[in-house]
Structure 1
Amino acid sequence: MESKRQLKYSKLIQKELGEIFQREAKPLVGNAMVTVIRVEMSPDLSVAKANLSFLLANNEELFERINNSKKEVRKFLGRRIGKNVRIIPELVFLMDDSAAYAQHMNEVISKLDIPESEADDEEDDQ
């Protein structure tokens, strides 16, 4: 269970990282859309784990590029929140695959052959 302080900082960092990927890091991401799904803070607020989701891009390639530019993204983050926090947290980026999982589950469900129940047949007859 995260404390109120952790939740406050995670929301702040999520908002600021989203804006960084839209504005300052535009050369890094190109025209891809990077969404910060969730940020989890360590209890001492020194590490932020950010789950990222991508649209219009090769996910693995873009994730690798962002991961290799952590220092630059952290510097942008420091400029934005430096006056609000004591420590600019180390960033750990994780690829969020919930959209791909949801698409996979939709495909699985659509392939199921579910016969109509007898109750549905009786309602149709009336």
Structure 2
Amino acid sequence: MPRNSHSHSNRRVPRTVRLDEQFREEISKLLMKGLKDPRIGFVTISRVEITNDLSYAKVFISVLGSDREKAASLIGLRNSAGFIRTYLGKALKIRKIPQLSFLLDESLDHAMHIEEILAELKEQGEL
């Protein structure tokens, strides 16, 4: 049976798992050097998920700051996606660079909220 890149299997190909980490590292390096967009604040790339056919990559980010600063950073990154793709192509020396889609990673905010609840429960003697 031929392999189909549009299969409904969620199994990750080892190459894309490796590329996930390489993309995360390279985008992080680029952000540390600084992009020219002043809207991009203190951003951390938490993870990258690339489709097996290398068509798309979800780039999950955490942003330090207010909701307004988070939104501004997201807009800045989305507007810089073409530049970031070009950078990745040169840095990783691969021909096919997926379309980048930047998304806020809410897991850190969620974890902090849980920590606050646990601290309150402990303070009230319920834990």
Do the two structures share a fold, i.e. TM-score over 0.5? yes
Relative to 1, partners in 2 of residues 1:56 and 1:97: Cα closer, same or farther, differing over 3 Å?
A: same
Q: Is the 8 A contact 2:43 2:73 kept in 1?
A: no
Return the index of the structure with the highest Cα Rg.
1
- Once the two structures are TM-superposed, the CA of residue 32 in structure 1 deviates from its matched residue by 3.0
Which residue of 87, 101, 109 maps to 2:110? 101
SS in structure 2 of the partner of residue 88 of structure 1: coil
Task: Give the match for residue 120 of structure 1.
Answer: none
SS in structure 2 of the partner of residue 28 of structure 1: coil
SS in structure 1 of the partner of residue 43 of structure 2: strand
Relative to 1, partners in 2 of residues 1:97 and 1:115: Cα closer, same or farther, differing over 3 Å?
A: closer
Larger mean Cα displacement after TM superposition, 39-48 or 62-71: 62-71
Moved over 6 A (4+): none
Q: Unaligned 5+ residue runs, structure 1?
A: 117-126
The Cα offsets for residues 13-34 of structure 1, whole Å up to 9 and x where unpaired, read as 1111111111151x22578322
Aligned partner of 1:20: which letter? L
Instruction: Using structure 2 for the length normalisation, give the TM-score.
Output: 0.76
Aligned partner of 2:14: which letter? K
Larger mean Cα displacement after TM superposition, 47-56 or 35-44: 47-56
SS in structure 2 of the partner of residue 49 of structure 1: strand
Relative to 1, partners in 2 of residues 1:99 and 1:115: Cα closer, same or farther, differing over 3 Å?
A: closer
Q: Is the 8 A contact 1:21 1:29 kept in 2?
A: no
Which residue of 7, 21, 24 maps to 1:14? 24
1:91 aligns with 2:85: no
Distance of 1:105 and 1:65 partners within structure 2: 30
- Once the two structures are TM-superposed, the CA of residue 7 in structure 1 deviates from its matched residue by 0.8
1:60 aligns with 2:80: no
Distance of 1:89 and 1:115 partners within structure 2: 49
Relative to 1, partners in 2 of residues 1:31 and 1:10: Cα closer, same or farther, differing over 3 Å?
A: closer
Q: Unaligned 5+ residue runs, structure 2?
A: 1-10
